[in-house]
Amino acid sequence: MSKRLPQRDAHGFKVKKVVLDSHRKIEGNGVSIFEEESQGASYIKDYVHGLRRVTPYYFTFLTHCKERWQDRKLIEVFKSEFRMKPFSYYYNAIANGEVKLNDQVANVDSVLRNGDLISHRIHRHEPPVTLDEIEIAYEDDEITVINKPSGIPVHPTGRYRHNSITMIMKQEMGTIAHTCNRLDRLTSGIMFLGKTAMKTAKMVQQIKERNVGKVYIAKCKGKFPLGLQVVDKPLLTIDPRLTFNLVDLEDGKEAKTLFRRISYDTKDNTSIVKCMPLTGRTHQIRVHLQFIGYPIANDPVYSSPYVWGLTLGKGFLHKENPGYLKEVSERSEKIGKTKQSTSWYYPEESGELLLEEGCEVCGSELYSDPGVNDLILWLHAYRYYSHEQSWDYSTKMPKWSIEGHHREMMKLAIEEAKKCDHTETAFNVGCIITDENGEIISRGYSREFEGNTHAEQCALMKLDYKLPPGSILYTTMEPCSERLSGNKPCVNRIIDLKGEVITVFVGVVEPKKFIADNTGKRQLEDAGVNYLHIDGYEDEILALATR
């Protein structure tokens, strides 16, 4: 007997069996599971609190028995795999005949077999998520590249369904999104959504085979060390319900991440750090940063003083201290229920909490609105690129990484550009250089010194090309990688400093008016210098540059 081929949609994607099952009529209800959900759920945009809410609705959970569930009691699987509701709820639901196996009422002694369909109809309450828009970074006939907001899960999971990226795009943009890469709910940044099965499969395969480079931006506790930092520590999922991961030198899976400091802020003792994961383990960047003592500053899991205590889990190996792990796990279980979340940056409790009252319709437990520790994580997927150089996508820098000091420095660089004398053959550019603590140590502007001197060149000349380690250079336009006059390009001048400048911030990429192929960015990054764009000043900078 030939194997039955999977059903596919118009774009070549497999249609999951549970999707087909959801279009069957509900016994005694006259509508299908899909119709009941669609008629009941709708968005409410709460602009006062900046939250996207979903009205409560009836929903029937459908799932087929996973391999690891086979030959186990249904009640045991609910206890170990599902965290959305307390165990007492699941026990009562099964005992009262509200859970079905293959359309037949199940009981607490029911055992799962291969292929079993589990169904459970509930009155569903979703947590609100941020109202931040889903930005389209790139789109063609085969793929959509988005800038995912923080705090929104990629696809329906746990307590979230309509408040997920794929459902929001489907209902508000009319886009059927098939994800190619994964980001945690709290992580923002680059996501690829395939429009065709062939393109999606190709992208997924590239990522799976590690043929894709990834660059993330994080804001961490403390003064991150200079130079390339390599963390090569295997990771193990300790509790799948909490998605709780730790370093495990014996049983963990291979995990390696490279880190470079971008800048340090003395005001709040935080560092902006470039993170380059070479493997793709769950919470890899977050756990590696925690392990070396620089956790993401507002991480409600891995920088929580309540969960970890004063050490915040630095260097923690759970097998060497199982008692501490038990305490950490127990405290983690309370977050979002009897304890609000905390983080190193926001140590005061602020977050979702289980309320005393229940739903008037179904009696389900209700929660308070999420707080600052629940909605935003300072971790952003900034850039993904093909090692084969066939594609390269990036987003704007996240606001939390450049607001304040960095923008002020770019504004001062613009003021320097205003000092340039008139010319029709060169750009007017301004430059500011700071030390690692953000103090200005030099300024410069185009043609400040005799000859066709560039802004970066002038600022470096004032320092006699001797800068303190960790210095940062702000320039209104991209440093030149080629000089038609024969002078040394500014990119080479920066590279020759051998790491004294760790980051170059630019206000706009140099137009291809004088140099057809400016390779400055690639050269700087190859030399270990961070190259980043501060957006929002392009029009002003270009007007000054060519006045």
Angle at 211 between CA 205 and CA 214, to 5 degrees: 110
Cα Dmax for the chain? 89
Confidence of residue 514 (pLDDT cuts 50, 70, 90): very low
3-state secondary structure 385-451: EECCCCCEEECCCCHHHHCCHHHHHHHHHHHHHCCCCCCCCCCCCEEEEECCCCCEEEEEECCCCCC
Using the predicted structure, report yes or no on whether residue 1 has a pLDDT greater than 80: no
Which residues 6+ apart lie within 8 Å of 544 measured at CB?
414, 417, 418, 420, 428, 476
Residue 362, pLDDT score: 85
Using the predicted structure, report yes or no on whether residue 30 has a pLDDT greater than 90: no
Using the predicted structure, report yes or no on whether residue 104 has a pLDDT greater than 70: yes
Residue 9, pLDDT score: 66
Q: Is 360 exposed, middle or buried (0-12, 13-18, 19+ CB in 10 A)?
A: exposed
Q: For residue 184, indicate whether it is catalytic.
A: yes
Find the catalytic residue in 184, 248, 299, 374: 184
Residue 289, pLDDT score: 98
Residue 515, pLDDT score: 43
Spatial distance between the Cα atoms of 96 and 91, rounded to a whole number of angstroms: 8
Higher-scoring residue by pLDDT: 96, 34: 96
Lowest mean pLDDT segment, chosen from 221-235, 328-342, 390-404, 498-512 = 498-512
For the whole model, what pTM was predicted?
0.89
Place of tokens 């069957």: 24
The CATH superfamily holding the domain 33-46+57-124 is RNA-binding S4 domain (3.10.290.10)
Using the predicted structure, report yes or no on whether residue 284 has a pLDDT greater than 90: yes
The CATH superfamily holding the domain 402-546 is Cytidine Deaminase, domain 2 (3.40.140.10)
Query: Average pLDDT for residues 492-505, to the nearest whole number?
Result: 94
Please write the tens of the pLDDT for every residue from 236-264.
998 766 678 999 999 999 999 999 999 99
Confidence of residue 49 (pLDDT cuts 50, 70, 90): very high
Q: Could you tell me if 257 and 214 are in contact, meaning their C-beta atoms sit under 8 angstroms apart?
A: no
Residue 513, pLDDT score: 43
Mean of the per-residue pLDDT values of the chain: 89
Please write the tens of the pLDDT for every residue from 146-180.
999 999 999 998 899 999 999 999 999 888 888 99
Q: Specify the CATH number for 215-378; select among 1.20.120, 4.10.860, 3.30.2350, 1.20.81.
A: 3.30.2350
Rg of the chain taking only CA atoms, in angstroms: 27
Spell out the domain ranges in the chain. Answer: 33-46+57-124, 215-378, 402-546
